[in-house]
Amino acid sequence: MPLEVFDARTDVRNLFITPEIRARIMHFEAGQVSAGHTHDLGHEMFLVLDGQAEFTIAGQSAILGPGQLCVARAGEWHEIRTLADAPMTLYLSVTPHVEPTHTQWDREGGTRLPYRYGLAAPSTSPESVDVLLERHLAATDALADAARQLAGIQPRQASAIDLEQMTASFQELYARFQALERAWNELAPAAARLHDPA
């Protein structure tokens, strides 16, 4: 695969999306306010590239400018408010990026709203939900098998402190987990469309 180069001046879009990470350049107009939300699983990092904005994370606010970075940890409500006098451009990444990627809240009542799937990266799979469900269930079984194997082999490897073998078996488990994440991220938005096609 060729080296991909992105330019924050022209590539104002999602740059890279996998279950492990979502990377994006965003542009906000002067005075624009993002929709406040949380991520149940993921941490989100924001790096201001140009302009200034007020970031509110977990009830605390700060104004950040070019070169400054802040983090909204998993479960922390966050919102971005661009200052009224100028636009702002930022880079953000969310990791992991597993459906549902955003949790919306009723600001007045503080209650979680129903999950919405495919907000940041809708499923583009041409396969039916039945095929996607079958793939998800197979990935679930494969992860369970890898976890059982890891649980059985790690004590023997640990007794000899065989780090090479311990690493290899852990990596196998993680690879199975990544396959499950990919299968889930394809299934969830597609299945949600069946129940709520609007």
| 9 inside domain | no
Tally of structural domains, the chain: 2
Yes or no: say if 115 and 191 are a contact pair by the CB < 8 Å rule. Answer: no
What is the per-residue pLDDT for 32? 96
* Chain CA centroid to CA 144, Å: 23
Burial of 70 (0-12, 13-18, 19+ CB in 10 A): middle
Q: Would you say residue 76 has pLDDT above 90?
A: yes
Which range of residues forms the domain containing residue 175?
129-195
User: pLDDT by residue (tens digit) across 103-130?
Assistant: 998 877 788 999 988 877 666 778 999 9
Query: If you average pLDDT over residues 79-96, what whole number do you get?
Result: 95
Q: Between 121 and 20, whose confidence is greater? A: 20
Do 74 and 20 fall into the same domain? yes
The fraction of the chain above a pLDDT of 70, given in percent, is 95
Residue 92 per-residue DSSP state: E
CATH of the domain at 96: 2.60.120.10
| 7 inside domain | no
Query: Residue 2: which residues within 8 A CB-CB, separation 6 or more?
Result: none
User: pLDDT by residue (tens digit) across 131-168?
Assistant: 999 999 999 999 999 999 888 887 777 667 777 877 88
User: pLDDT by residue (tens digit) across 169-178?
Assistant: 889 999 999 9
Do 84 and 150 fall into the same domain? no
| 184 inside domain | yes
Angle between helices 163-195 and 129-159 in degrees, nearest 10: 160
What is the per-residue pLDDT for 156? 76
